[in-house]
Structure 1
């Protein structure tokens, strides 16, 4: 159960609710058209969440099998960000 794992890592249970809500909002943001800057923030949030999960598992001394799901999601996040369509990228020509 996810709550058991969070408690073992030292996180309070309310953190799971907060993280879950932000992840759902991030997925919606990535899937809807337009808002490229908001999409960049969503990808950054996914990267921070997954890299934080990896470091939490590593610092707890957990075996590789507990780290792999977070690592896979981090890799999928990076691949999705890198191969996103051009119309979903931030246009920096105005800066």
Structure 2
């Protein structure tokens, strides 16, 4: 892996991890502003706990060495959660500023996944 690609991977992965960890904690502890947002979007409060826990577990999966299949699932979960957030905000005709965070995390998820090292990829061997 080229040094440039490693740098891109780690920058994207660190920012993705910080974003997912911070929003995961906010959701897990049910910060009032986040609970109000979920209610306005029409989601039940228990979804905050589920998403928060999954985001934190996903960050751990992405950062720890090995377990490439688990990383694939974590990236997929991040992608689905953030694309769902974008769609939810669009469905509610929210202002463009509400889309910034989810779109940024969606881009960081894609960049981190794309530039991940071979040791963090699921490699299939055709027999």
User: TM class by shorter-chain length?
Assistant: over 0.9
Q: Distance in 2 between matches of 1:63 and 1:82?
A: 30
Q: 1:86 maps to which residue?
A: 118
CA deviation after TM superposition for structure 1 residue 35, in Å? 0.6
Q: 1:39 maps to which residue?
A: 71
Q: 1:8 maps to which residue?
A: 40
CA deviation after TM superposition for structure 1 residue 94, in Å? 4.6
Residue 76 of structure 1 is aligned with which of 76, 93, 108? 108
Q: Which has the higher contact order (CA 8 A, sep 6+)?
A: 2
Give the gaps of 5 or more residues in structure 2. 1-32
Q: 2:83 maps to which residue?
A: 51
3-state SS, counterpart of residue 66 of structure 1 = helix
Deviation string 1:36-78 (CA, Å, 9 cap, x unpaired) is: 0110011000000000000000000101000111000000000
Runs of 4+ in structure 1 displaced over 6 angstroms? none
Count of matched residue pairs:
95
- Tell me the C-alpha RMSD between the 2 structures: 1.0
Q: Distance in 2 between matches of 1:61 and 1:80?
A: 29
Give the gaps of 5 or more residues in structure 1. none
Q: 2:51 maps to which residue?
A: 19
